[in-house]
Chains A and B, each alone.
Chain A
Amino acid sequence: MSDDRGIVSTGIYVPRQRLDSEEIESAWGSSPPVSRVTVPAADEDAITMAVAAARDALEDTAVNAADISCIAIGTTTPPLDEEAFVPRVADALALDDDAQLSSATQSTVAGANALLSAAETDGAALAVVADSPHAEPGESGQRMGAGAAAFLFDADGAVVLSDAATRSWDAPGVRFRERGSDEVAELDITTYERETTRDLVSNAIEALDVEPSAASGAALHQPTPDIPHRIARPLALDGEVIERGSVVDDIGDVGTATPTIGLLAAFDACEAGDTTIGGFFGSGSTAVALSFESRREIETGVAAALNDGEFVSYPEALRERGTLGTTGVAGGGAHVSLPSWQRTLPQRYRLVAGRCPDCDSLAFPPEGACPGCRERVDFQHFELPPTGEIVAKTVIGQGGAPPEFIEQQRRDGPFGVAIIKIEVEDGSVRLPAQLTDCDPQEPTVGDFVTATFRRIYEVEDVTRYGLKFTPE
């Protein structure tokens, strides 16, 4: 690894909704191992959270999306068992077609592998770790959360990934998911699971070329708050160092994203010269240890992100996650074919509008005759800014939604739909879009809203993604 290549910027995303442990306790009679968990909304998944975290990392940096040479994504919860998901994230972020895409999945070590991939590439590279694990609601499902972290690597890094070490041996059954299931399973063979995790992770950390005792922060595998401390027992790491990199108590078990978000928390506390250790465990079993050296202070915004949010009830959380069941709507009267949808991705992901070469009128979507001069022109394409003003708005309540949105409404409740006016220097366009992450009754005509990448709807088992808007 080159001497000064490292993390120049980071991003964080956690869903707005939180579920307090007391809610879970009142439902089940026993308390979960964490204080609260984040609850992904019905229109969120690992892809949308990855986009949000990556955008956060790119914001306020000199690096343009087109400069990114590589994106590596780690998740245990890709939306589909088979089909690459990184191209969708890359497209949503407007990366170049020739950017190198890589994914790491299938175990909670995935986040470390994504970090290594991005660290080892030349040029600006993104590592994004996003996860949204599910499990049986009465068992480990009680502690599952959702969230994402992103790391932008480039020359002159503020935090340099200085070393990595791996250890693995065959130890099955610690944490696994059967083919076709979306629920993580654990056998609860307590001593076997704890020893496997502890031995692999601590062995990998001992193989690093830094002394654990030199670390000011450690983000270790953390499905529950106690596990990092158990892992650290053979190492000279004190409790305070471990707590700096522990976030599970605030957001729940977010799969491979928990230790990754933990790294952000640890980086925040670092001064120049400080060392941070990451210890990822992946069932099967394998462990990856990483050491980071801070060259200068970096602000990750992780504390603010974790403290933000709004608490929901247990039934709301179950409904939002789809645990209370999903529904389908038979029949079909209107259909947008997949090729038609795919053709409009630049508009749906990045608000690519058109400017008339003859009269400078603006068009969204940029197709058909010019709305100004009515001539059939080849529009000059440009990206609209992601913020606009509500000029008309309604709330679609029970029964009023097109069938494409019945499932979403069932899980997320009534939703707002607005016509949004987006102004640029020489004009404005309007587009219809859903409002999300807000009380649908709240935003009114005249309010400003910002675009966010979400699941829109699903047809023939293919999820279609696009932009919704949230109040500023």
Chain B
Amino acid sequence: MTDAYIIGAGQSDFGSFPDESYRSLFDTAFDEAVDSIDADFDTGEIDEAFLGTLGVGGRQLGLSGPAVTEHIGLHGVATTRVENACAASGYALRNAVMAVRAGMADVALAGGYEVMTDMSGDHTKWWLGVSGETEWERLSGTTFAGVYAQMASAYLQEFDATVEDLSRVAVKNHRNGAKNPHAHLDFECTLDDAVNAPDVATPLNLYHCCPTTDGASAVFVANERVAHELSDAPIRVAGAGAASGPVGLFQRDSLTSIPASRTAAKRAYEEAGVGPDDIDFAEVHDCFAIAELLAYEDLGFCDRGEAARLLREGVTDSEGSLPVNTSGGLKSKGHPIGATGTGQVVEIFNQLRGEAHVPVTDARIGLAHNVGGSGGGVTVHLFEREEGAT
């Protein structure tokens, strides 16, 4: 079995773009990903495409993958649309890695796209929270903000953490995102701003929630031979973990941990032969501030109940020993649902090639953590810069 490598990664700006469509946004991301490949790349070499989208707004709900690849001129390429809510393109990447490792594709395209901001207020409401457990969780009156708020309520009750600690996530991620030219909310905020914002779903306020965003991202995955032909510094996919869990929060044993994150991380670490201590930086799924705290613990960055300490001590700041979300994360960079998973990989690709806007010095191993819904499906990928590269 060949290893799989990331040889190119790109994204559109994340934001609100009434003049763009899901296809034009992907077109931009695709071009940037092609440009990021060191050698000249003939897009006719793409064997498979896996594109993630939830399909917010309906749009081309059926066959949206082929609608995109045909639109950008990848005529005839076998295209699979992947739907796993917010982890859609994390899973698209996983499929691309599997196709390459299995030898069915020399080069596979993984990506995602979502347009969320061009609908009426009424229409938008119907499409938020469609990935929660529908029959019970949604019909108890919650969208995702409510479900993550419930997790936060249980977490703040169980552990030594406060609303201020949740706000620290916003301060850190905005500080990073302000330097990212692709970020949706590219401004800094103070702890005071992030503590005193209007409530969305208590205990979560506006600064504890990511925005709804338009955007697209694209990543090229190649086998070992092609990777080294086309790239001066290909990034090896050292571990690809994924797991499912109950879709509804109420169906899980713990309200303060996402079991699928733990399992996916365990699988990725085992495959890569590394542990949490070996991680140099991470892009984690911070759709809501509490999610970043849970991620620290579920990914093994700290023990249960210790996440707030990491934030207070600056461990996960860009200058800390384990920077998290140097891209700005979902909070600042934005969360165009289907584009988020491979969007995280864009940051990791840039970091490991020394091209990031918020650089992490001597980074060798990066982790991407992508969560679908409130934890129904999770991918954890580990990426490694080859020795001697950059």
Partner-B contacts on A (CB < 8 A): 329-334, 336, 340-341, 344, 365, 371, 391-397, 399-406, 408, 415, 417-419, 430-434, 441, 445-446, 456-457, 466
Contacts and interface: CB of A to CB of B under 8 A. Distances in A.
A391 B150 CA distance: 9
Contacts of B140: 417, 432-434
Contacts of A332: 126
A334 B126 contact: yes
Interface residues of B, number: 44
B251 interface: yes
A393 B150 contact: yes
B60 interface: no
27 contacts: A330-B120, A330-B122, A330-B123, A332-B126, A333-B56, A336-B139, A392-B150, A394-B142, A394-B149, A394-B152, A395-B202, A396-B146, A401-B141, A401-B143, A402-B138, A402-B141, A415-B141, A417-B140, A417-B141, A417-B146, A430-B250, A432-B137, A432-B250, A434-B140, A445-B154, A456-B139, A457-B139
A419 B146 CA distance: 11
B202 A394 contact: yes
B151 interface: yes
Contacts of B198: 397
A362 B255 CA distance: 18
Which of B134, B251, B255 counts the most A-chain CB atoms under 10 A from its CB? Answer: B251
Q: What DSSP secondary structure best describes chain A's contact surface?
A: mixed
A457 B249 CA distance: 21
A394 B136 contact: no
A334 B248 contact: no
Contacts of B151: 392
B390 interface: no
Interface in B87-142: 119-120, 122-123, 125-130, 134-142
A400 B204 CA distance: 11
A415 B202 CA distance: 11
Contacts of B200: 397, 399-400
Contact of B199 (A333, A397, A456): A397
B150 A334 contact: no
Contacts of B142: 394, 396, 402, 417, 432
A434 B135 contact: no
Nearest to A430: B250
B126 A333 contact: yes
A331 B201 contact: no
B244 interface: no
Contact of B150 (A404, A405, A419, A434): A419
A333 B199 CA distance: 25
B16 interface: no
B145 interface: yes
A441 B202 contact: yes
Interface pairs A-B: 8 shortest CB-CB: A394-B149, A333-B126, A392-B150, A432-B140, A333-B127, A331-B123, A403-B125, A392-B154
Interface string B240-274: 00000010111100010000000000000000000
A417 B151 CA distance: 12
B126 A329 contact: yes
Nearest to B143: A402
A224 to B, nearest CB: 39
A89 B129 CA distance: 31
Contact of A417 (B119, B123, B150, B157): B150
Given A333-B127, A392-B249, A432-B249, A405 B134 contact: no
